[in-house]
Amino acid sequence: MHTGPGLQTLRADPSVQQRAQEAVEQARTAWLARPEIGHLRRDLARYGAGKALDELPALGELMRSREKAAALAEGLASAMCAVLSRQPFAQIPLRHNYSDRLALVHVLREARSILSLVLYEPGERQPAATACFGSGERHELCLAGQALTRLVSLGDADRGSRSVSIERGTMTPGERTSFDNARETKLVDSVARGGMVQLRLSRAIENPPPAREYRLSDGALVHQAAGDRGESRRELAMALLGRMERGDAVPAMQDLANRGPPHLRWQALRECLALDTCRGFASLCAIAADPADELSTAAASLRTQLVAVHPQLGSLEAARSPA
């Protein structure tokens, strides 16, 4: 594999990378020290704590004015690019990601609120057949470019599905949209030449419910995922302990099966059954026997299925029953 002189220098002297990173970190620190950024950070913290956007002068004006929002983006880009032109191997000290022709950079983050720049690359998208709804709220201001969109609104539940309404539109510079993430979202179907850039302000809630994905054609629920990162980590940890066959983790899993969000409890119950059938089945029967437990019906159904496939489990249930 061919490597250029720049990479060869980095390989020979790690301090070159360290100095490059220090330079870009200093540029970010200097940008954050600007008075107007300080005002924004204070408003962003108050917004994250629950204040309405209209009560926050600096942040509210930013999200209403395309000129001010563009100046913010240009100021940050100039500060970073001035260093990157001299230090091309430095890593931008801002959280960012890129996926499916969409790039996102977290410009500022305070508590539960995030101010981001979002870039949609030009071109047609494969029309989405589903839409995902989370929690919290977000506001978006188009800074440049144009796109064809679908605004999707989620209605009331009806026999396990939700009514879905779709409004087609065109996003243009200066246009502002606001969303209640639990009921509203935006799908981008096509982006005009040159791409589209938006400034996005989002606020999460303290205890987010699961994110849910619905099929647009009939409103059927097709996927659900934990809305809280802590819950996701616990689910992954339980799955890992289960694959490692860590029987010593069963007591902790039994405890989790009795408290917390339903999806986390159910995952704990499944792992208990796999690691220690006797103890896991005891927990399953206890939940099934409690009509006040929201997992009672599902637990009773699983218990019946398990006993049908493994009749010997019936003796465990009989042993638990009072004489």
Residue 106 predicted with pLDDT over 50: yes
Under 8 Å between Cβ of 257 and 265: yes
Q: pLDDT tens digits for 227-260?
A: 667 777 888 888 888 889 888 989 988 888 888 7
Average pLDDT over residues 43-67: 96
298 and 160 belong to one structural domain:
no
Is residue 294 domain-resident? yes
205 and 301 belong to one structural domain:
no
Q: pLDDT tens digits for 219-229?
A: 998 987 766 67
Which residues have a Cβ under 8 Å from the Cβ of 215 and sit 6 or more positions away?
129, 130, 222
220 and 234 belong to one structural domain:
no
HSE of 315, CA atoms in CB hemisphere, 13 A: 3
Phi first, then psi: what are they for 13, rounded to 5°? -140, 95
- Note down the domain range covering 307: 229-320
Report the pLDDT value the prediction gives residue 11, as an integer from 0 to 100.
Answer: 63
Is residue 1 domain-resident? no
| Boundary of a domain, candidates 225, 240, 266 | 225
Is residue 165 domain-resident? yes
274 and 257 belong to one structural domain:
yes
What is the edge-to-edge ordering of all strands in the sheet holding 196-203?
96-99, 102-110, 113-120, 196-203, 137-144, 176-180
Q: pLDDT tens digits for 128-156?
A: 999 999 999 999 999 999 999 999 999 88
What CATH number does residue 149 fall under? 2.60.120.10
119 and 242 belong to one structural domain:
no
Is residue 130 domain-resident? yes
Closest C-alpha among 110, 3, 6 to residue 58: 110
Report the pLDDT value the prediction gives residue 259, as an integer from 0 to 100.
Answer: 84
Residue 105 predicted with pLDDT over 90: yes
Query: What's this model's pTM, rounded to 2 decimal places?
Result: 0.76
Residue 318 predicted with pLDDT over 70: no
> Hey, what's the torsion of the CAs at 5, 23, 111, 214, to 10 degrees?
-20
Tokens representing 247 are: 């029987």
Each as own residue / partner, the long-range contacts of residues 177-182 (CB below 8 Å, 24 or more positions apart, any chain) are 177/139, 177/140, 177/151, 178/137, 178/138, 178/139, 178/140, 179/137, 179/138, 179/139, 179/140, 180/137, 181/133, 181/134, 181/135, 181/136, 181/137, 181/138, 182/133, 182/134, 182/135, 182/154, 182/209
| Boundary of a domain, candidates 173, 194, 225 | 225
Number of domains in the chain: 2
Q: How far apart are CA 219 and CA 164, in angstroms?
A: 6
Is residue 2 domain-resident? no
Average pLDDT over residues 70-84: 94
Q: How far apart are CA 296 and CA 285, in angstroms?
A: 9
Average pLDDT over residues 119-133: 94
- Residue-averaged pLDDT of the chain: 89
